[in-house]
Structure 1
Amino acid sequence: LGLMALFPGARVGVELAAIFLLFTSMAWNMVLGFYQSLCGIPKDLQEASDVFQLSKWKRFWVLELPAGAVGLVWNSIISIAGGWFFLISIESFELGSQDFRLPGLGSFLAAAAEVADYRAIGWGLLTVVSLIVVTDFFIWRPLIAWSSKFTFSSSRHLESEPSSTVANYLHRSNVVRQLTKRVHPLWNSFVDLPFRPRKRQVLEAGKFPLSRIGRNLRVSTKALTAMAHVLRTICLVGLAMAVGFGVLRSSQILSALPMAQWKELAYSAAITFGRIAAALSMSLVWAIPAGVAIGRNPRTAAVFQPIVQIAASVPATALFPFLLLALSRIGGGLQIGSIALMMLGTMWYILFNVIAGAQAIPSELFEVDQIYGKGSGWIRWTKLILPGIFPYLITGIVTAVGGAWNASIVSEYVTFQGGVLKARGLGCIISEAAASGNYPLLLAGTIVMSVLVLLTNRLVWGPLYRLAQDKYRILS
């Protein structure tokens, strides 16, 4: 609403809102995955960077970014897939009496799903799958093959590493080789940029050959520091005023909401939470073994990685007409269908993070397992695989739960064949409030969902994150 108010009567506000929603559905998974990778950097590598006195700039490029490369690539894949998943609800939505539809595949699939035009849905999905296959072949497979060298393994096993036809061609290309020779010195200069503050030189300005230049440098440095402090203070004051105004305005809007609706919000939130728990449990049952199999076996990955990427990227709401027809025959309706749709919005986060975690386990540990574990599958899973993937698994679960809460908005309130199907829950309340223009109820539902997510992160996932950092990490 805010972005559209900035550009009244123009489509640019709706476009910016759609881009912002896509960003929020994609960015946090990548941020959490990279954060987890930083927490898992072995201590001896951190100590080595301190010994060599690497600046924060160079430390990022030579240690932190390579350490997070594997997880960042896999989480980028699932983030793009998440963007495709929410494409329909982002390009086609209603706010009160206003119906917003942006040109694109999402609005095309939404229009086809509303009237159950299966032929149009099929052509739209075929277009999406074609784009995903091309992207996988030319972008993701080369990146996966490239990132496989950034593991903490001290030896490389070429037969167990993922490969890419495009990456192999680029390695053999004379043009790329000559270009690399020219770019490599520039890259080294970029990494070695002197961003370390030269405090000693500034403090000892009197030792410079030209003491007046030293004094001017010291004065200019103090002036820049003071200006930065003033600018930061202004930004903090402005942010505090904006937050205060938002809280005041929100309290005025929420004061008109009767207590009965707050009770309904609490009960509906409990129902949606139960659906999310069911979807998460069923996702864990199959995603963990499948992710380990794909992450540890390059041949399996070559076959199933593009398949799961395509499956994760298909907008689930476009498949809903087919799902509802199937459920109408076996019974259950939207009560079961909403859980299935939540699974489609959660299981891929777990699967791709488990793949990244399995791929990041050093190969030497599996060799040790062959010697001391004597090939026991139970020992390998309990002593090596599950502890090895645990930090990545927690990251996948956190993002999966967030995705499930978002998916509840589109899975508990569905427009189908000119009518509306509902399943009681918090997502249904939010969608219905948006469609009817009931902004107090929409704001209250959003706040309740945000509070539940924050409490879960604070009380459940936060302690598990600390456990992963303290106990399940590679020390050397």
Structure 2
Amino acid sequence: MAAEDRVPARGVLRRPGLRTVDLVVALALIGLLYGLLRLAPSLGAPFLPGTAPAQVSTDPADLPFYAVRSLLRMFTALIASVLFTFVYASAAARLRRAEKVLLPILDILQSVPVLAFLSITVTAFIALFPGSELGLECASVFAIFTAMAWNMTFAFYYSLVSQPRDLDEASRVLRLTKWQRFWKIDVPSGMIPLVWNGMMSFGGAWFFLAASESISVLNQQYALPGIGSYAAAAAAKGDLGEIGIATGVMVVMVIGVNFLFWRPMTAWAERFRVEESQAVEKPRSLVLNLLRRSVVPGLLGRALRPIGRVLDTVTRPFGLAEHPLESPVLRRRAGDVAFTVAVGAAVLYGGWQSFTDIQSTVGLGEFGHAFELGAATFGRVLVLLCAATAVWVPLGVWIGMNPRITRYAQPIVQVLASFPANFLFPFAIAAFLALGVSLNWGSMLLMALGAQWYILFNVIAGASAIPGDLREAMDDLGVKGWLRWRSLILPAIFPYYVTGGITAAGGAWNASIVAEVVDYGHQHLTGYGLGAYIAQATRVGDHPRILVGVIVMIVYVVTLNRLLWRRLYRIAQTRYAL
């Protein structure tokens, strides 16, 4: 063989040198670690409740630092939400008796407004880290966590309980341990709903960024450096110019997070989709393509493998991944009885303490007033849902059934759903004041700014998921107009609409707390409703009325879920599942 023929073979076997793509990924990783190390000292800054500033500086030069601090809180809360989702959803799906208790608790937790969690946890976290701003940071992250975790947990739980039987049988035939089953079966099968619901939850948490960074509780005002507290301070001054700057920075942040994080995640999650036919338009990401061409992620993965082996070894004594979990009948019954007694005792004790506290302070008659206010907010939620359905369902179907339009419109909808609508509240309030519109009516628009996108987002997903052969069959049969809507489109998108509707309703209830009480400059506008009741009680630290308001909101939300949304879910699963 000639020498020139042997040179290419040697080149093929030689280890590739450092490439530009590897250098870019490595520098990005180093820059991220460096930024975290630089931020770490500021998280534990000295803090005294009596002398803490009530507002942050509104100097635009501070906005880059504020933006990074807010992003750090958001992603810390996201990591905590994912860990909570894995533990709680797995327990609810695998422990059959505990499921009957864990699911109602989760249903109640998602009904509790974010401000209620803040009013309870701020003092506790400050006491946990005395003299340090870390306590306020933990309270802020916890508030953002409560805006993310519940939706993600429900999504992962439903993916576990609807897991195909053949995957369960395969895990037993292969004699996987519980750790192996979780990472090789459970997580991959639930990855797509987890990623998409995580993206929606992350977008919903932006809405409460201002409330979690500019905290008003117990007649005291605490402000953490962040883009949300900057917007709150600018709104308190009534400076629309500074609010416009904050809004512009927020737009850049939302687009950047979607481009650098969520777009790659949604494109990567497609590898876990199990379908007989291939999707017409798959999500694509330049960042994901860059990471796939680099060897750096593979090196990091190999470096972390020993940790997985250790955890697998530790979990082996707990047995194989049998589902349902195999255990002796007497031991299982004893565990169920002990768990039920412990949870029942805790619920009864908490209920009795709440009852005596309310009776001895504001009196049980306060519930009548709170339910009357709740009826007003309930009416606003219904009007919002009806209006959003009438507007966004036809538009969402048009976008979803046109793949070329979907490719360009879906990222725009993602950004709109992620943008914190309360940044636009000052502009809306200025318009209300100029036009003489009462907040009793204007609050519906403010609530819609943050809640309506869930319906549009899910309808687009449902319309784009309609199989092409069904569309072609309708075309061949000449089915058009209302008949096509009634026989194909509405049944196909119904499960997705129910998911969007229940999410939008929950978001509207939570948004009522910041939409029914709005401060703009020297103007303090208050609407008539349960959201304003809870917001005012939280501001002055009136714990009995906070408790009354939270209980009433839980009753409204849980009752609506049980009587309407759960039944619609059942219909969607039994009659309209493709």
Shorter-chain-normalised TM-score: which range?
0.7 to 0.9
State the match for 1:121 in structure 2. 243
Moved more, 295-304 or 16-25: 295-304
Distance 2:257 2:483 in 1: 38
Cα distance change of structure 1 residues 142 and 5 upon mapping to structure 2, 3 Å threshold:
closer
Q: How many angstroms does 1:291 deviate by? A: 3.3
Q: Identify the match of residue 257 of structure 1 among 343, 347, 362.
A: 362
- Read off the aligned partner of 1:81 and give its amino acid letter: G
Distance 1:393 1:63 in 2: 28
State the match for 1:445 in structure 2. 549
State the match for 2:520 in structure 1. 416
- Read off the aligned partner of 2:138 and give its amino acid letter: L
Moved more, 229-238 or 248-257: 229-238
Q: Identify the match of residue 354 of structure 1 among 459, 463, 468.
A: 459
Q: Identify the match of residue 112 of structure 1 among 226, 234, 254.
A: 234
Q: Structure 1 length as normaliser, TM-score? A: 0.80
Residues 58-116 of structure 1 show CA distances to partners (whole Å, capped at 9, x for unaligned) of 66556654554443333222211111111111211322321122221111110111112
Alignment pair present for 1:459 and 2:563 = yes
Secondary structure of 1:160's counterpart equals: coil
State the match for 1:163 in structure 2. 284
Cα distance change of structure 1 residues 59 and 79 upon mapping to structure 2, 3 Å threshold:
same
Q: How many angstroms does 1:340 deviate by? A: 0.8
Cα distance change of structure 1 residues 297 and 197 upon mapping to structure 2, 3 Å threshold:
farther
State the match for 1:207 in structure 2. none
Distance 1:415 1:60 in 2: 48
Residues 297-332 of structure 1 show CA distances to partners (whole Å, capped at 9, x for unaligned) of 443233223322332233222211111222233332
Q: Identify the match of residue 295 of structure 2 among 175, 184, 188.
A: 175
Moved more, 313-322 or 177-186: 177-186
Map 1:48-447 onto structure 2 (within 5 A): 49-50=168-169, 53=172, 65-148=187-270, 150-151=272-273, 153-157=275-279, 159-171=280-292, 173=293, 175=295, 197=319, 240-255=344-359, 256-258=361-363, 261-371=366-476, 373-374=477-478, 376-447=480-551
State the match for 2:44 in structure 1. none
Report percent identity of matched pairs.
Answer: 40
Q: How many angstroms does 1:57 deviate by? A: 6.1
State the match for 1:203 in structure 2. none
Distance 1:466 1:426 in 2: 30
Q: 1:161, 1:298 within 8 Å by CA — same for their partners in 2?
A: no
Residues 323-375 of structure 1 show CA distances to partners (whole Å, capped at 9, x for unaligned) of 1222233332312221011112211222223333334444444344444x436
Q: 1:75, 1:353 within 8 Å by CA — same for their partners in 2?
A: no
Residues 406-434 of structure 1 show CA distances to partners (whole Å, capped at 9, x for unaligned) of 11111111112123111111111111112
Distance 1:380 1:18 in 2: 49
Moved more, 115-124 or 329-338: 329-338
Distance 2:407 2:266 in 1: 11
Distance 2:305 2:218 in 1: 58
Secondary structure of 1:345's counterpart equals: helix
Alignment RMSD, CA only? 3.8
Cα distance change of structure 1 residues 295 and 138 upon mapping to structure 2, 3 Å threshold:
farther
State the match for 2:75 in structure 1. none
Distance 2:386 2:498 in 1: 13
Residues 97-150 of structure 1 show CA distances to partners (whole Å, capped at 9, x for unaligned) of 211222211111101111121121122112211122122222222233333455
Distance 1:319 1:64 in 2: 40
Q: How many angstroms does 1:403 deviate by? A: 1.0
Secondary structure of 2:452's counterpart equals: helix
Q: Structure 2 length as normaliser, TM-score? A: 0.67
Distance 2:559 2:569 in 1: 15
Cα distance change of structure 1 residues 182 and 13 upon mapping to structure 2, 3 Å threshold:
closer
Q: 2:381, 2:508 within 8 Å by CA — same for their partners in 1?
A: yes
Q: 1:268, 1:426 within 8 Å by CA — same for their partners in 2?
A: yes
Distance 1:296 1:62 in 2: 34
Cα distance change of structure 1 residues 59 and 99 upon mapping to structure 2, 3 Å threshold:
same
Distance 1:190 1:46 in 2: 29
- Read off the aligned partner of 2:397 and give its amino acid letter: V
Distance 1:465 1:124 in 2: 39
Gaps of 5+ in 2: 1-119
Q: 1:88, 1:315 within 8 Å by CA — same for their partners in 2?
A: no
Q: How many angstroms does 1:286 deviate by? A: 2.7
Q: 1:70, 1:144 within 8 Å by CA — same for their partners in 2?
A: yes
Cα distance change of structure 1 residues 317 and 301 upon mapping to structure 2, 3 Å threshold:
same
Alignment pair present for 1:4 and 2:4 = no
Q: 1:78, 1:348 within 8 Å by CA — same for their partners in 2?
A: no
Q: How many angstroms does 1:254 deviate by? A: 0.8
Q: 2:420, 2:450 within 8 Å by CA — same for their partners in 1?
A: no
Q: How many angstroms does 1:273 deviate by? A: 0.4
The one of the two structures with greater contact order (alpha-carbon pairs below 8 A, sep at least 6) is: 1
Distance 1:412 1:72 in 2: 32
Q: How many angstroms does 1:260 deviate by? A: 5.2
Distance 1:384 1:22 in 2: 39
Distance 1:126 1:57 in 2: 45
- Read off the aligned partner of 2:446 and give its amino acid letter: L
Q: 2:373, 2:530 within 8 Å by CA — same for their partners in 1?
A: yes
Q: 1:153, 1:364 within 8 Å by CA — same for their partners in 2?
A: no
Q: 1:95, 1:436 within 8 Å by CA — same for their partners in 2?
A: yes
Alignment pair present for 1:26 and 2:148 = yes
Residues 5-53 of structure 1 show CA distances to partners (whole Å, capped at 9, x for unaligned) of 3543543333222212211111222233344555666xxx434643774
Residues 242-301 of structure 1 show CA distances to partners (whole Å, capped at 9, x for unaligned) of 444422321122102246533321211111100011111112223323333444444323
